[in-house]
């Protein structure tokens, strides 16, 4: 045992030394002016006539050339004097002379000169003990020549091996006695490759072409082979941790135009929607802020003010090569992801053959009775004889006219909302990569997403005088909102990946920027009084009925101008990141290991600016159409009129044309009075600037013991946050007293231990276990110490700069079996224990000697979350006849959570609640059928009910009701290059429904009707 350990340590030391040497080599290689290695025959050097030993000679050569020597100190002796005749000669000539005198052999690999013993010496060494060498290669598809990432490369007769990376490449350190390696890839025939490795040398196999399993059928042929998803499942199977990977072709099989909607098909993921379109992602029942969103492995900032999570409807799904959802973190990943980490991977050029593909889509929205459209174009090609330089550019544009018919309730008030939206989603991404050689790759990736949303909202708000108060009126408010919002998310990564015999290195610098620019947001309101407004919410809770006495609510001339709010906002979030990862393979008692360590710096700047102007009218009668008139809505009506609002349940009239009213505003500004104090308060309290600097380092190791893989390590992250904001203080009479600047900051650290085990029952079946620690930083809106305190009302809200992140430990157990074709069945259990859970607390305080009740986000409570997930995906090619075309995609996740918060009833102690955002049941069921050139798919996505907002008491908790959307897609391949398809979404017109307290007490129902798209995909 002791001897084995000693051997392991020696081996580790040896390869650490090798690793450091290779690092030096790499630095030289990267920094060299020329992009490729020089030949030893071409480099002339001057040497001394005599050296005390070879080490000195090597040092001289290394000092005056880009070459570095690689050798094993156990196999090679550098002792002994050496005399040289060639004082000025090429490196090759010098080494030839040395070889003749020492029996050593030299071989150039790039800028490395590998030193091995001569044949006579070598045989002695070999017989004395076990010797090791390196095999590198690239696994590709025999037909398309595209690389196969995630392929399993195993040494025949041994238990160790390697997994190909995204470029399909692998490096494997193995015993020189090994004669064969086996390459396995889901959906492909297993391949054996004979090898013969010189001791302490590198064997470069080159490309290993894999043949896809052919499904020979008489009538049914495989349609859209899902090659990407094959790759994804291979990566998923061979990954060290628990993750789901969805490839572009799988994404395109569902009618999901944006990334959020694509993610809803992943087990354990549900989404929050906006106007029927997916926007935020919730992983394993935790709110969006608990999930980390990355592009190409780097966190992307949030364009929205105050929060960290990213609205994923800003990113078109067709920009991506694949999506990874990691559910158990490894130490080399950012630790601030309790729910999970989503990584959006953009595309890379694969082949020297130019590849042009695209889509052209037209569609129809039934509610708006308007068309939508999408176009995308992708070009990718590798250049040069060996395809070293790759370029891929992808552009897409999506436009839609959407809308919704909606009613909402707030207490006794009832509101009708008619939305019309124009949305466009433009994406541009590109990758430029250069393969210096099979083991060294440099890349530059960029992605730019431009999401624009023009929202026009027209409302009727019925405000009954519920208590028949003489101080209130029954009123009807008419509002229009016209808002244009742009969300720009862009990310640029420059980095390199290098694999050497004894070291892997990757590094990257990245810049990502997200901003939300709202150039205009205008909301005018007109009001009318009525004698009586009655609203019956109980007889028909789905569509409450109202009565208005003393006013004709459809007559626009009864509505008088009340106020107009105009403004704009700009939120900016910038991340600058640099990171480096080093991996050193080693052997421990025959087990293959990898020691990995690295560091990362992320500097964030986030800010929010707001302009908000509220005007009332002080100008008396208005001069319009040559007459003096009351300032009423009928003079400013315009825009769309929905004569079938909520399927004819309610009658509405045309509403305010905001642009028309703004023209009047600009011409009559002297009649409008600005609410200066409100403006000062809103703009000073809501705006802020913050910085967040994160420094991280980790150390981890992975060991493959026969069928068991163990991975463990630690990650340390320290975060320094600073803020600049302002506080508004009101006097006892409710007037603004002063606005004070507030600066603050906080620093916190986390040490996150993480361990993973993967046991391979057979090549297609894994059992996984993970115990990980993670955390989640609070939202900026909670920590920025802005405050708004109304002393007269004796209440206020105040930021909490001392707010600590939520910390968690997570346990995951997962079993998965992959099918030979594209398929998987898996089941997993997960448990999360959250500490320092953030909740809003009301507490008493004294400000200016006055008792006030403050609302503030605070830590202190705990939460637990337990669940399981099941997933099944298979093409039924084992079935007879035409049934072979059936494919099934299904997953289901059950989650249960329990959080403790301060008792809301006012009594001491705590009460238990369900975590906001956590749905008990989430799932997908999709049935597909391929027949000849046809493909048909029906998909159902189910989102269980969840709490969206905690009330002051349990009865006031707001729930989003469960929702199941059914979509239908069909496609027909005309030729090898053209395919037409159709998509029909939300066939059953499923509404978005919110209730408060009990299920029959709806407070919102929003309908979108169905929408469709028909298009063509092409590739050349």
Binding site for another protein (CB under 8 A): 358, 360, 372-377, 395, 397, 399, 422-424, 452-454, 467-471, 482, 484, 520, 522, 564, 566, 611, 613, 618-620, 658-660, 662-663, 665-666, 668-671, 673-677, 679, 732-734, 791-794, 849-851, 978, 1016, 1018, 1020
CA torsion angle 736 737 740 745 (round to 10)? -70
In angstroms, what CA-CA distances link 113 with 90, 119, 675, 728, 742? 14, 17, 77, 70, 61
Please state, in angstroms and rounded to a whole number, the distance separating the CA atoms of residues 138 and 168: 5
Q: Are 19 and 502 in contact (CB under 8 A)?
A: yes
Q: Between residues 148 and 685, which has the closer beta carbon with respect to another protein? A: 685
Q: Between residues 219 and 735, which has the closer beta carbon with respect to another protein? A: 735
Please state, in angstroms and rounded to a whole number, the distance separating the CA atoms of residues 738 and 788: 11
In angstroms, what CA-CA distances link 28 with 67, 437, 635? 9, 15, 75
Q: Between residues 659 and 903, which has the closer beta carbon with respect to another protein? A: 659
Nearest approach, Cβ of residue 976 and another protein (Å): 12
* Residues whose CB falls within 8 Å of the CB of residue 489, separated by 6 or more in sequence, listed in order: 300, 301, 303, 310, 314, 315, 447, 448, 449, 451, 512, 513, 514
Q: Between residues 831 and 1018, which has the closer beta carbon with respect to another protein? A: 1018
Nearest approach, Cβ of residue 973 and another protein (Å): 15
Nearest approach, Cβ of residue 360 and another protein (Å): 5
Q: Are 885 and 870 in contact (CB under 8 A)?
A: no
152 burial (CB, 10 Å; 0-12 / 13-18 / 19+) is buried
Q: Between residues 28 and 668, which has the closer beta carbon with respect to another protein? A: 668
Nearest approach, Cβ of residue 967 and another protein (Å): 22
Q: Between residues 677 and 1000, which has the closer beta carbon with respect to another protein? A: 677
Q: Between residues 274 and 816, which has the closer beta carbon with respect to another protein? A: 274
Please state, in angstroms and rounded to a whole number, the distance separating the CA atoms of residues 585 and 595: 6
Nearest approach, Cβ of residue 394 and another protein (Å): 12
Q: Between residues 487 and 581, which has the closer beta carbon with respect to another protein? A: 487
CA torsion angle 314 315 318 322 (round to 10)? -150
| Partner residues linked to 671 by β-bridges | none
Q: Between residues 194 and 618, which has the closer beta carbon with respect to another protein? A: 618
Q: What is the 3-state secondary structure (H, E, C) of 437-495?
A: ECCEEEEEEEEEEEEEEEEEEEEEEEECCCCCCCCCCEEEEEEEEEEEEEEEEEEEEEE
β-strand pairing of 132-141 with 202-210: parallel
β-strand pairing of 736-762 with 708-730: antiparallel
Helix H or strand E encompassing 522: strand 503-530
Q: Between residues 732 and 761, which has the closer beta carbon with respect to another protein? A: 732
Please state, in angstroms and rounded to a whole number, the distance separating the CA atoms of residues 1019 and 890: 30
Nearest approach, Cβ of residue 532 and another protein (Å): 15
Nearest approach, Cβ of residue 664 and another protein (Å): 9
Please state, in angstroms and rounded to a whole number, the distance separating the CA atoms of residues 161 and 192: 13
- Rg from Cα positions in the chain: 33
Q: Are 443 and 431 in contact (CB under 8 A)?
A: yes
Q: Between residues 529 and 921, which has the closer beta carbon with respect to another protein? A: 529
Nearest approach, Cβ of residue 452 and another protein (Å): 4
Nearest approach, Cβ of residue 561 and another protein (Å): 13
Please state, in angstroms and rounded to a whole number, the distance separating the CA atoms of residues 107 and 84: 20
β-strand pairing of 68-70 with 112-117: parallel
Q: Between residues 674 and 879, which has the closer beta carbon with respect to another protein? A: 674
Q: Are 748 and 807 in contact (CB under 8 A)?
A: no
Please state, in angstroms and rounded to a whole number, the distance separating the CA atoms of residues 124 and 65: 33
Nearest approach, Cβ of residue 677 and another protein (Å): 7
Q: Between residues 77 and 680, which has the closer beta carbon with respect to another protein? A: 680
Nearest approach, Cβ of residue 984 and another protein (Å): 20
Q: Between residues 38 and 611, which has the closer beta carbon with respect to another protein? A: 611
Nearest approach, Cβ of residue 862 and another protein (Å): 36
Nearest approach, Cβ of residue 623 and another protein (Å): 8
Please state, in angstroms and rounded to a whole number, the distance separating the CA atoms of residues 767 and 892: 19
Nearest approach, Cβ of residue 816 and another protein (Å): 40
Nearest approach, Cβ of residue 620 and another protein (Å): 4
Return phi, psi of residue 572, to 5°: -130, 140
Please state, in angstroms and rounded to a whole number, the distance separating the CA atoms of residues 165 and 499: 11
In angstroms, what CA-CA distances link 120 with 55, 66, 81, 104? 22, 30, 21, 10
CB-facing half-sphere around the CA of 555: CA atoms within 13 A: 9
Nearest approach, Cβ of residue 849 and another protein (Å): 6
Q: Between residues 851 and 903, which has the closer beta carbon with respect to another protein? A: 851
Nearest approach, Cβ of residue 627 and another protein (Å): 15
Please state, in angstroms and rounded to a whole number, the distance separating the CA atoms of residues 986 and 970: 15
Q: Between residues 222 and 516, which has the closer beta carbon with respect to another protein? A: 516
One DSSP character per residue, 25-42 reads HHHHHHH-SSSSPPPTTT
- H-only helix segments in 206-321: 227-238, 248-252, 259-263
Nearest approach, Cβ of residue 617 and another protein (Å): 10
Q: Are 568 and 529 in contact (CB under 8 A)?
A: no
Q: Between residues 348 and 613, which has the closer beta carbon with respect to another protein? A: 613
Q: Between residues 469 and 762, which has the closer beta carbon with respect to another protein? A: 469
């Amino acid at each position: 045992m002791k001897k084995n350990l000693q051997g392991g340590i020696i081996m580790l030391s040896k390869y650490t030394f090798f690793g450091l040497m290779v690092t030096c080599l790499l630095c030289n290689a990267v920094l060299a002016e020329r992009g490729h290695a020089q030949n030893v025959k071409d480099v002339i050097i001057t040497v001394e006539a005599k050296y005390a030993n070879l080490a000195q000679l090597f040092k001289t050569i290394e000092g005056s050339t880009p070459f570095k020597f690689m050798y094993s100190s156990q196999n090679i002796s550098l002792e002994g004097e050496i005399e040289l005749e060639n004082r000025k000669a090429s490196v090759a000539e010098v080494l030839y002379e040395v070889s003749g005198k020492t029996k050593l052999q030299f071989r150039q690999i790039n800028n490395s000169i590998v030193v091995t013993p001569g044949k006579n010496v070598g045989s002695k060494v070999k017989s004395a003990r076990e010797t090791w060498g390196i095999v590198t290669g690239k696994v590709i598809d025999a037909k398309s020549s595209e690389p196969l990432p995630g392929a399993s490369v195993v040494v025949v007769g041994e238990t160790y091996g390697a997994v190909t990376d995204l470029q399909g490449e692998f490096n494997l350190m193995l015993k020189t006695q090994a004669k064969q390696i086996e390459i396995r890839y889901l959906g492909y025939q297993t391949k054996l490759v004979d090898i013969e490795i010189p001791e302490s040398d590198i064997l470069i196999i080159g490309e290993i072409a894999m043949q896809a399993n052919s499904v020979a059928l008489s009538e049914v042929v495989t349609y859209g082979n899902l090659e990407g998803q094959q790759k994804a499942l291979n990566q998923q199977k061979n990954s060290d941790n628990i993750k789901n990977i969805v490839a572009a072709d799988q994404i395109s099989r569902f009618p999901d135009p944006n990334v959020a909607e694509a993610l809803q098909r992943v087990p354990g993921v549900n989404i929050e929607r906006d106007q029927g379109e997916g926007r935020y992602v919730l992983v394993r029942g935790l709110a969006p802020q608990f999930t980390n969103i990355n592009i190409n492995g780097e966190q992307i900032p949030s364009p929205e003010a105050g929060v960290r999570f990213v609205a994923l409807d800003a990113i078109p799904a067709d920009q991506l090569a694949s999506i990874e959802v990691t559910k158990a973190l490894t130490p080399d990943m950012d630790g601030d992801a309790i729910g999970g980490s989503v990584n959006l991977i953009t595309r890379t050029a694969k082949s020297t053959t130019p590849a042009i593909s695209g889509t052209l889509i037209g569609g129809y929205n039934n509610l708006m009775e308007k068309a939508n459209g999408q176009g995308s174009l992708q070009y990718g090609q590798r250049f040069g004889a060996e395809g070293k330089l790759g370029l891929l550019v992808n552009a897409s544009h999506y436009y839609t006219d959407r809308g919704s018919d909606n009613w909402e309730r707030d207490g006794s008030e009832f509101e009708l909302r008619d939305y019309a939206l124009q949305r466009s989603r433009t994406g541009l991404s590109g990758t430029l990569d250069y393969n210096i050689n099979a083991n060294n790759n440099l890349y530059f990736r960029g992605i730019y997403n431009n999401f624009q949303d023009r929202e026009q909202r027209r409302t009727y708000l019925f405000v009954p005088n519920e208590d028949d108060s003489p101080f209130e009126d029954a009123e009807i408010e008419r509002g229009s909102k016209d808002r244009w919002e742009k969300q720009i998310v862009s990310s640029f990564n420059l980095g390199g990946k290098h694999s050497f015999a004894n070291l892997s290195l990757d590094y990257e610098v990245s810049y990502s920027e997200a901003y939300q620019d709202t150039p205009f947001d205008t909301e005018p309101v007109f009001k009318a009084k009525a004698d009586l407004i009655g609203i019956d919410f109980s007889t028909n809770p789905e569509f409450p009925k109202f009565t208005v006495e003393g006013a004709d609510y459809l007559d626009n001339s009864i509505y008088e101008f009340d106020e107009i709010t105009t403004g704009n906002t700009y939120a900016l979030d910038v991340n600058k990141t640099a990171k480096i990862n080093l991996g050193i393979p080693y052997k421990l008692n025959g087990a293959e290991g990898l020691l990995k360590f690295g560091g990362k710096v992320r500097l964030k700047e986030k800010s929010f600016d707001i302009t908000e102007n509220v005007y009332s009218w002080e100008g008396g009668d208005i001069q319009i159409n040559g007459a003096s008139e009351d300032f009423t809505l009928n003079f400013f009506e315009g825009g769309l009129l929905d004569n079938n609002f909520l399927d004819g349940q309610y009658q509405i009239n045309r509403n305010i044309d905001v642009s028309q009213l703004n023209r009047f505003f600009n011409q009559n500004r002297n009649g409008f009075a600005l609410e200066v104090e409100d403006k000062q308060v809103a703009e000073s309290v809501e705006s802020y600037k913050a910085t967040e600097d994160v420094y991280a380092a980790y150390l981890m190791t992975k060991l493959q013991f026969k069928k068991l893989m163990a991975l463990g390590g630690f990650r340390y992250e320290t975060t320094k946050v600073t803020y600049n904001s302002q506080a508004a203080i009101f006097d006892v009479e409710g007037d603004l007293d002063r606005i004070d600047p507030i600066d603050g900051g906080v620093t916190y650290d986390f040490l996150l231990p993480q361990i993973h085990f993967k046991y391979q029952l057979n090549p297609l079946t894994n059992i996984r276990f993970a115990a990980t620690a993670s955390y989640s930083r609070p939202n900026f809106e909670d920590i920025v110490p802005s405050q708004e305190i109304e002393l007269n009302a004796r209440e206020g809200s105040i930021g909490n700069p001392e707010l600590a992140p939520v910390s968690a430990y997570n346990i995951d157990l997962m079993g998965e079996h992959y099918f030979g074709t594209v398929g998987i069945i898996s089941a997993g259990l997960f448990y999360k224990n959250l500490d320092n859970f953030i909740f809003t607390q009301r507490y008493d305080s004294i400000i200016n000697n006055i008792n006030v009740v403050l609302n503030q986000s605070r830590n202190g409570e705990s939460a637990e979350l337990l669940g399981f997930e099941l997933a099944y995906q298979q093409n039924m090619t084992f079935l007879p006849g035409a049934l072979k075309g059936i494919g099934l995609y299904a997953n289901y996740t059950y989650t249960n959570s329990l959080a403790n918060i301060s008792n809301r009833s006012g009594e001491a102690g705590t009460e238990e609640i369900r975590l906001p955002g956590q749905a008990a049941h989430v799932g997908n069921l999709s049935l597909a059928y391929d027949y000849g050139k046809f493909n048909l798919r029906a998909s159902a996505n189910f989102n269980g009910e969840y709490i969206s907002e905690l009330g002051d008491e349990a009865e006031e908790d707001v729930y989003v009701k469960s929702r199941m959307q059914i979509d239908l897609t069909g496609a027909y391949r005309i030729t090898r290059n053209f395919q037409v398809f159709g998509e029909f979404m939300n066939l059953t017109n499923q509404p978005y429904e919110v209730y408060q307290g009990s299920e029959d007490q709806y407070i919102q129902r929003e309908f979108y009707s169905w929408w469709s798209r028909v298009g063509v995909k092409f590739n050349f």
